[in-house]
Amino acid sequence: MRCQVEQLGTVDYARGLEIQRERVLERKAKTIPDTLLLLEHPHVYTLGRNARREHLLISANRLQALGASLFETDRGGDITYHGPGQLVGYPIFDLTQHRRDVAWYMRSLEEVFLGVASDFGIEARRIPSLTGVWVGEAKLVAMGVHISRWVTSHGFAFNVNTDLSYFQSIVPCGITNKGVTSLEKLLGHTVTLQEAAARTVTHFGRVFGMEMRIPAAEALALGGTSKEDASASPCR
């Protein structure tokens, strides 16, 4: 089984939703294979289906002053933040080709980032009854998904070099007694989004048993080969 990887660069959140909807329709029609969209968003707060508005702790004026927008979405979960320095991923996967099991899918996403964290020498973990990947009591990777006719959308937000001060304006994921962290904070130095993306792609292939395919220009950006449509194992 193969998975097409699309690196989209910086994309407005509204456009990101449009791209996801397009790919979901294509995946349902079986005109594309499983696809992993990797991108970065400008400052935005998003509300999931279970979000409580009071978890946004700032006024509309303060939101504007921060240069951030606000969106309601159809993903699971509460409120979260996306912004520069954060690797966002939207897997458009047909779970009928894997396992028709939402819990298995979520645990598999977590397994991807347990592997990525380990690559950077970080001991990350799951916390029972909570989604995402944690280091101590701080969340490194947030997750929220939508599944329609077993085709997935939305996905994960991996704090690589994220400005964590933006999380002070919300109750992240509706959890009041946990923190938020980033790869940069944990390591004490900056990691490029390209390196984080490369390791993420590698571990997606490992966990989901897929051949990750990246177009030539994107493969080069990830440190891979220059073949026209290269199998991606950029960080073996």
> Would you list the DSSP string of 61-124?
HHHHHTT-EEEE-SSSSSEEEE-TTEEEEEEE-BGGGS-S-HHHHHHHHHHHHHHHHHHTT---
Structural domain spans, the chain = 2-231
Contact status, residue 1 vs residue 34, Cβ threshold 8 Å:
yes
Give CA–CA dist 60/235, Å, rounded.
Answer: 43
Q: Give me 25's structure tokens.
A: 């329709």
Tokens 């599944």 belong to residue: 147
What is the pLDDT at residue 14? 95
What is the pLDDT at residue 179? 94
Helix (H, G, I), strand (E, B) or coil at 4: strand
- In one letter, which amino acid is 125? R
What is the pLDDT at residue 224? 45
CA distances 136 to 41, 93, 127, 165, 199, Å, are: 26, 30, 9, 19, 22
Domain 2-231: which CATH number of 3.30.930.10, 3.40.50.740, 3.40.50.2300, 3.90.226.10:
3.30.930.10
Ramachandran sector of residue 163 (left: φ over 0; alpha: ψ -120 to 50; beta: rest): beta
Reading the chain (236 residues) residue by residue, the pLDDT tens digits are 899 999 999 999 999 999 999 999 999 999 999 999 999 999 999 988 888 888 989 888 998 999 999 988 888 888 999 999 999 999 999 999 999 999 999 999 999 999 999 999 999 999 999 999 999 999 999 999 999 999 999 999 999 999 999 999 988 888 888 899 999 999 999 999 999 999 999 999 999 999 999 875 454 344 443 333 433 332 22
What is the pLDDT at residue 228? 38
Active site residue ranges:
173
Give CA–CA dist 234/41, Å, rounded.
Answer: 23
What is the pLDDT at residue 234? 29
What is the pLDDT at residue 77? 81
What is the pLDDT at residue 218? 55
What is the pLDDT at residue 216? 54
What is the pLDDT at residue 121? 97
Q: Exposed, middle or buried: residue 192 (CB in 10 Å: 0-12, 13-18, 19+)?
A: exposed
Q: Considering the entire predicted model, what is its pTM?
A: 0.89
Q: Which residues contact 165 (CB under 8 A, 6 or more apart)?
A: none
